Structure 1
C-alpha cells in the first residue's frame, strides 16, 4: 500500500474512531458524568482521608467522614448562594422597574437596526406561553435527575476512597513487572495534579469572591454578594468563565442600578481581579502542575460543553491534565502529550 493511501485510510479510521468515542461519551453521560466527578473529587479528598487514618480512624470511617465533610461543604455553599438569590428575587420588582427602560431602549435599537419583526417576536411569545406546563414538568424531571446524580456522586466518592488501594493495585496488575513502577508513578502524578489544581482553584474562588465583593460593594452595586459569588464560581471554567462572569456582573449590576459609577466600578474590579489572578495568584497558587496549552484547554472546554454541558466544562481541565500525564509516559502517545502541554518556553 502506498504512503498516501496509508495516510488516507489511517486518517479516516482516526476520525471515525473519534466520532464514535464522542458519541459513546455523550450517550453515557447519565453514568459517566457523576462517576468522573466522583473520581476527581475523591482524588482531592485522598489526603484528608489519609490524615484521618494516621489519627487512628479505620479506613471505612475515614472515608465516610471525608465524604460527609465534602457533602456538608457543598450543601452549606449552596445554602449561602440560595440565600443571596432569594434576597435578589425579593427585590425583583424594584430591579424590574430599573431594568425596563434599558430593555425597551434595547428593543427599539434591535427593531430599527435589524430585520427582526416585532410581530414575529409576539407570535413566538404566544407559542412559548403554551408550553409553560411542559417546561415546568421538564424542570421537575431535571431537578429529580440532578438530585439523583448529586447523591450518587457522593456514594461513588465513599467507595472510591474506601477501596482506593484495591483500585491502585488493579491498575498496577494490568501491566508487566518492568512497567509496574512507572504505572505507580503515573498514578501518583495524576493524584498530585488533580489535588493541586482543585485546591488552587478553591483558594482562587475564595479570593476572587472577596475581591469582587469589595470592589462592587464600594462601587454601589446592588446584590454585589451574589454577583461576586457567581462570578468567582464561573472562573473554574478556564477563559470562558471569566467572560461569562463579567457579562453577568454587567447584567445584574449595571443594568439593575443604571448608574455609570457602578459600570466603571465593575469594569475596574474585574480588570484588577483578572490581573491579580493571571499574573500573581494563578502561577503561585495553582502553580505549574496543570501545564496545558491554552488552545487545547479552550478546545477541551468547548468539547466538554457539547458533551456534558456545564459539568463537562468544569471537568474538562482536570481530565485533560490526567490525559496529558498518561500521554507523557506512553511512547506512542508522547506526540499527543507534546501537543497538549504548554511548551511555549521550550519552543521559543
Structure 2
C-alpha cells in the first residue's frame, strides 16, 4: 500500500522556524564573545546563585523568610571564601616556596640518577640528541621571564587607572551580584517560564529539569568530590612524610573532575617528589604514597561518587576535556567557566534529540512521500471496495442479460 503523500509547505515552514532559532543562537554566541571581558563577574555570580539556591529553598521550607535565608547562605559563602584566603592560601604559598627551593635538588636527581637509569634500561643515549643542561637553563630563563612578566603586568594594572578600576569593580561586583541572584533566582525562573510558548511548556520544563539534575550532580556534586579528594590526598601525603604533599594533593584533587586523571597525575608527581626527597629508592615512602592514592580512589569510587554525584551526568571524560579546551579557546576565561554547564545541557539536548529521532517515522522507515504541487484525494477503502464489487456485479448481470 502506498504511503500518503503530504504537502511540503509544512516541512518548509518548520525548517524556517528552526533556522530562525539557529540564527538567534549564533547571535547570542557572538554577543557572548563580544562582551566576554565584562561577563566574568556576572557568570560567576549566576553560578554561585544557582549553587546556593537549593539551600535557600530548604531554609525557606524550614520556616525562614526568603531574605533571612538568602542572608544566611550569603554569609556562609563569604565565610568559606575568608577561610580559604586566610588558611589555604598561606599554606599553598609555603609549599610553592619549598618547591622553588628544592629545584636544584630535583635538577641534580634528574642529571645524576634518573637520566643514567633511563639510558641504561633503554640503551638510548639521550644526551646525544638532548642537552639536559640546556633544557634546565631554558626552564630557568622562562621562569625568570614569567616572574618579570607578572611584575610588569602588576605594574601595568597599578599604573593604568581604567584597568585597575575594572579589576577592583569585578571584585566588588561579585558579592553584590551573587546576593541579588540568590534573592531573585526563583523570580528569574518564573519570568523565563512565562515567556515559553504554551504548546512547548511541557517539553521545555522536562528538559530544564533534566539539565538541572545533570548540572547539580556535576557542579555541586563534583565540586564536593574534588574538595574531599584534595583533602584526602593532601592530608594523607603530608602524614606519610612527603614535604610537597599538600601541593600535590590539592593539584590531584582539583583535576579529579576528569576520571582517573587526578589520581594518575598525583601518583606521578608524588613518586617523583618521594624519589628526590629520599635521594634514592625509599620503598617504604613509595608504598605509603601508593596506599594514600589507593584509599582515595576507593573512597571516591564506592562512597563519594555514587552518593553525591550519581550516574546522571553522562559526560564522557574526553567530552569534558574537549569542552574546557574549546570554551577557553573560543571565549577565554568566561568560556572555561561556562564550558561544563553548556556541555551538560548539550548532552541532555542530544539525548532528547536521539529519543525523538528513534520514535519518528523517518527512523522506522515510514517517512511520508513529499509531492509538490499535487493534491491527493483520499478514497475510502470501504467505498472503493463497494464500487469494485458493484462494477463486477454489473458486469456479470450484463453478461447474463446478454446471454
Could you tell me the TM-score, scaled by structure 1's length?
0.70
Residue among 315, 322, 341 paired with 1:318: 341
Q: Give me the whole-angstrom Cα distance separating, in 2, the residues matched to 1:324 and 1:217.
A: 39
Aligned partner of 1:302 in structure 2 is 325
8 A Cα contact 1:222 1:257, kept in partner: no
Residues 20 and 251 (structure 1), Cα distance of their counterparts in 2 relative to 1, 3 Å cut: farther
Q: Give me the whole-angstrom Cα distance separating, in 2, the residues matched to 1:87 and 1:131.
A: 19
Residue among 51, 57, 68 paired with 2:75: 68
Q: Give me the whole-angstrom Cα distance separating, in 2, the residues matched to 1:246 and 1:254.
A: 12
| 1:2-81 to 2 correspondences below 5 Å | 28-81=35-88
Which structure has more relative contact order (CA 8 Å, sep 6+)? It is 2
Residues 245 and 40 (structure 1), Cα distance of their counterparts in 2 relative to 1, 3 Å cut: farther
8 A Cα contact 2:49 2:185, kept in partner: no
Residue among 150, 156, 169 paired with 1:135: 150
Aligned partner of 1:201 in structure 2 is 222
Q: Give me the whole-angstrom Cα distance separating, in 2, the residues matched to 1:253 and 1:290.
A: 36
Q: Which runs of 5+ in 2 are unaligned?
A: 1-23, 120-124, 159-163, 358-403
- How large is the RMSD of aligned CA atoms in angstroms? 4.3
Measured against aligned partners, the alpha-carbon deviations of 1:64-113 in whole angstroms (never above 9, x if no partner) come to 43233223213312433223224335656863464342254468989714
Q: Give me the whole-angstrom Cα distance separating, in 2, the residues matched to 1:177 and 1:99.
A: 66
Tell me by how many angstroms 1:308 deviates: 5.8
Q: Which moved more, 1:130-139 or 1:307-316?
A: 307-316
Question: Does residue 235 of the first structure (1) align with residue 278 of the second (2)?
Answer: no
Q: Which moved more, 1:279-288 or 1:254-263?
A: 254-263
Question: Which has more radius of gyration?
Answer: 2
Tell me by how many angstroms 1:128 deviates: 7.7
Question: Does residue 171 of the first structure (1) align with residue 192 of the second (2)?
Answer: yes
Of Structure 1 and Structure 2, the greater helix share is in 1
Aligned partner of 2:306 in structure 1 is 283
Question: Does residue 99 of the first structure (1) align with residue 106 of the second (2)?
Answer: yes
Q: Which moved more, 1:101-110 or 1:160-169?
A: 101-110
8 A Cα contact 1:238 1:297, kept in partner: no
Tell me by how many angstroms 1:30 deviates: 2.4
Measured against aligned partners, the alpha-carbon deviations of 1:293-348 in whole angstroms (never above 9, x if no partner) come to 3432332233234346677556533331123234445x59967xxxxxxxxxxxxx
Q: Give me the whole-angstrom Cα distance separating, in 1, the residues matched to 2:149 and 2:237.
A: 38
Could you tell me the TM-score, scaled by structure 2's length?
0.62
Q: Give me the whole-angstrom Cα distance separating, in 1, the residues matched to 2:85 and 2:254.
A: 12
8 A Cα contact 1:216 1:266, kept in partner: yes
Total equivalences in the alignment: 319
Aligned partner of 1:249 in structure 2 is 270
Question: Does residue 157 of the first structure (1) align with residue 139 of the second (2)?
Answer: no
Aligned partner of 2:20 in structure 1 is none
Residue among 265, 271, 283 paired with 2:288: 265
Q: Which moved more, 1:310-319 or 1:28-37?
A: 310-319
